[in-house]
Structure 1
Amino acid sequence: MAKETGRKLIAQNKKARHDYHIDDTFEAGMVLTGTEVKSLRQGRASLVDGFADVDNGEIWLHGVHIPEYTQGTWTNHTARRRRKLLLHREEIDKIADRVHQKGLTVVPLALYFKDGRAKVEIGLARGKKSWDKRHALAERTAEREKQEAIGRRLKGIPD
């Protein structure tokens, strides 16, 4: 069997980038059971309610939904159990310091396979206010309208 190469995206948390300012991102491995990996290989996961927490010098991922494997037996996993993240000690210390001092939170941004290994991209995030969200939406709308106007002008269509 050939070894997998590259990055295969499983799930992405688009809402996190809308609800939070992402200050820094980290790539972490995950401690998974066999049925969790099989379920992920089918492309089934949800990061919507997920967050990470530092506990006794370890980072744990909570609320990520990996559904039970359909062909699993009594050895199947629980869908929303907490999962340990694998990071270097310096990265864990950096995340723990910033979470405790600055009041940031850790949210999962993407879940993917990289060279056959399950990885999660986590981000240190600050919550956005409602006016920040409206401002970001207005910027995206203005940029889209600008690109459409440029496209019309290049095609020779009058405004």
Structure 2
Amino acid sequence: MVKERGEKVVATNRRARYEYHLEDVVEAGLVLTGTEVKSLREGRATIGDGYCTDYHGELYLENVHIPEYLQGTWTNHSAKRRRKLLLHREQIEKMTAKAHQAGHTIVPLRLYFKDGRAKVEIALAKGKKLHDKRQALRERQDRREAERAMSAHLRKHG
């Protein structure tokens, strides 16, 4: 069997970049069952509402929806179960210490396969205020308008 190479993104959390200021970004492995892996390989997962919690000195991914595998039998997994993250002890301690500060949380950014192994990119995040969100939206609109004007100019004179 040929070993998988490269990265295959299964799910991204675009809302996290809008809702939070991202500080530390870390790649973590996941402890999954067989049917969860098969469901992920089909590209079926939702991480929009996901977050990480500290439980007995370990980090767990919560509220991430990996639907049941369609061909699964009694061995199927529950869709929103708590999944253990695989990180080094120092990384766990650093992330949890910062997450216990007011206004901080740990959110998943994307779920993907890297060389055949399921990985999740998590980030230490601080919630944005409403005016920050408006500012980000305004900057995005300004950037789009500038790109539109430049492409129109190039079409006209190019």
TM-score by length of 1: 0.96
Query: Equivalences for 1:6-155 in 2 at 5 Å?
Result: 6-155=6-155
For residues 69 and 141 of structure 1, the distance between their equivalents in structure 2, rounded to whole angstroms, comes to: 40
Q: Which runs of 5+ in 1 are unaligned?
A: none
Shift of 1:55: 1.6
For residues 102 and 92 of structure 2, the distance between their equivalents in structure 1, rounded to whole angstroms, comes to: 15
Tell whether the 8 Å contact from 2:103 to 2:127 is kept in structure 1 after alignment.
Answer: no
Letter in 2 for 1:24: D
Letter in 1 for 2:120: V
Question: More deviation in 62-71 or 146-155?
Answer: 146-155
- Deviations for 1:78-99, whole angstroms, at most 9, x for unmatched residues? 0000000000011001101111
Percent identity between the two aligned chains: 61
Shift of 1:148: 1.1
For residues 4 and 65 of structure 1, the distance between their equivalents in structure 2, rounded to whole angstroms, comes to: 24
Q: Which runs of 5+ in 2 are unaligned?
A: none
Runs of 4+ in 1 over 6 A off after TM superposition: none
Shift of 1:20: 0.7
Question: More deviation in 144-153 or 70-79?
Answer: 144-153
For residues 17 and 82 of structure 2, the distance between their equivalents in structure 1, rounded to whole angstroms, comes to: 22
For residues 15 and 114 of structure 1, the distance between their equivalents in structure 2, rounded to whole angstroms, comes to: 23
